[in-house]
């Protein structure tokens, strides 16, 4: 796994926290950023309303899986 250069110029390993949501990850991001000077915590951007509607179409009716996957990727690159 690649390492990131810390503020002191020395490499440091990446750390990841994965969750299914609704588990306090936004709190954890804010807490780590304010309480730990050597940590940079970021949170995944929230999905747009359009993406939520497309996801519901995919999940409820199973339509356009390739098209919807392409659209999700396109939206994330904006």
Query: Tokens 């796994």 belong to which residue?
Result: 1
Per-residue pLDDT band for 3 (boundaries 50, 70, 90) equals low
How far CA 64 is from CA of 34, 69, 75, in Å, comes to 43, 8, 16
| pLDDT for the residue numbered 34 | 92
The pLDDT tens digits for 49-74 are 777 887 888 788 777 777 777 877 87
Whether residue 56 lies inside any domain: the answer is: yes
Domain span including residue 23: 3-35
* 40 assigned to some structural domain: no
Cα–Cα dist 51/74, whole Å: 11
Domains contained in the chain, number: 2
Co-location of 54 and 30 in the same domain:
no
In a domain, 57, yes or no: yes
Give domain status of residue 55, yes or no: yes
Same domain membership, residue 52 and residue 72: yes
């Amino acid at each position: 796994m690649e390492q990131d250069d810390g503020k002191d110029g020395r490499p440091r390993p990446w750390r990841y926290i994965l969750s299914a949501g609704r588990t306090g990850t936004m709190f954890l991001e804010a807490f780590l950023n304010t309480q730990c000077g050597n940590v940079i915590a970021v949170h995944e951007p929230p999905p747009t309303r359009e993406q939520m509607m497309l996801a519901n179409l995919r999940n409820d009716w199973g339509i356009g899986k390739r098209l919807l996957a392409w659209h999700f990727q396109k939206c994330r690159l904006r």
